[in-house]
Amino acid sequence: LAKGPLAGIKALVTSGPTFEPIDPVRFIGNRSSGKQGHAIATALARLGADVTLITGPVRLADPSGVRTIHVETAREMLGAALGNLPADVAVCAAAVADWTVSNASKEKRKKYPGAPPPAIELAANPDILATLSEAGSARPRLVIGFAAETEKVLEHAKAKLARKGCDWIVANDVSPATGTFGGDFNSVHLISASGTEDWPRIAKADVAERLAWRIADFLKPGGAE
Ligand code: C5P
């Protein structure tokens, strides 16, 4: 049986990008590496949680001790998330594509000499974080989202907390001056209805561990934020 402060706790983590097909061989994606989400899944498992990681396509190994489900599209990610409720805590770290290709074709799009390029039509994707936050009696006790901002970090993150209906936002300052993009260190703020914690500049791996301990503190019997 698992030991640790999160023993008996079920956690859902989303990570990585989503890929939205244009046709059977092409897609729209993004540059998310999945490092932060995978690190969070690992940190939660180390504290004893029963972790399901739902990940888009990444170049990372499945973390050991974590049940990993591989998906491609936002719709598949949402289906996997809803299909793995109930959970005590959900951490939405995935960089979900905002749009899917509504006119994706079953056959590979052909290029014909002289013909204009095909038009790609987009439609909004479901918001996984918002959907989990509104899941009624199936709602995890603690729903956590991420916000990467380049300006007015706290203001934008607080608005996101309200808009998505989640409990905490990990706001990530990615303005060029911080060196966060491509760097090993991160400066985050943990935002909840009751206030803002400014974390020191720490290694990205340590953000995951610190968040896992913070989750354990919140979920422990009698724990509060
Ligand atoms: O709205 P925005 O993409 O900036 O919000 C980021 C947060 O929302 C992240 O936690 C991300 O995982 C989550 N999200 C989601 N589904 C979407 C879009 C964002 O879960 N379709």
Q: Is the CB of 127 under 6 A from ligand 1?
A: yes
What pTM, to 2 d.p., does this model score? 0.95
CA 58 to CA 51: how far, in whole Å? 18
Q: Is the CB of 94 under 6 A from ligand 1?
A: yes
pLDDT for the residue 182:
60
Q: In whole angstroms, what separates CA 225 from the centre of its chain?
A: 21
Residue 114 CA, ligand 1 centroid: distance in Å: 40
Identify each DSSP E strand in the chain by its residue range.
10-15, 20-23, 26-28, 50-55, 67-70, 89-92, 99-101, 122-124, 142-149, 168-173, 185-186, 188-192, 195-198, 202-203
Residue 98 CA, ligand 1 centroid: distance in Å: 8
The predicted complex's ipTM stands at 0.98
In this structure, are residues 74 and 30 in contact, taking their beta carbons and an 8 Å threshold? no
Q: Which residues are annotated as a binding site for CTP?
A: 98, 108, 126-129, 146, 160, 164
Residue 71 CA, ligand 1 centroid: distance in Å: 16
Q: Is the CB of 188 under 6 A from ligand 1?
A: no
Nearby residues of 120 by Cβ (< 8 Å), 6 or more positions away: 22, 28, 101, 103
Q: Is the CB of 92 under 6 A from ligand 1?
A: yes
Going from the first residue of the chain to its last (225 residues), give the mean pLDDT of each consecutive group of 10, the final group possibly shorter: 92 97 97 92 98 97 97 98 98 97 97 94 98 97 95 94 97 79 80 94 92 96 62
The preferred substitution site among 127, 134, 153 for testing ligand 1, maximizing ligand atoms within 8 Å of CB, is: 127
Is 30 annotated in the active site? yes
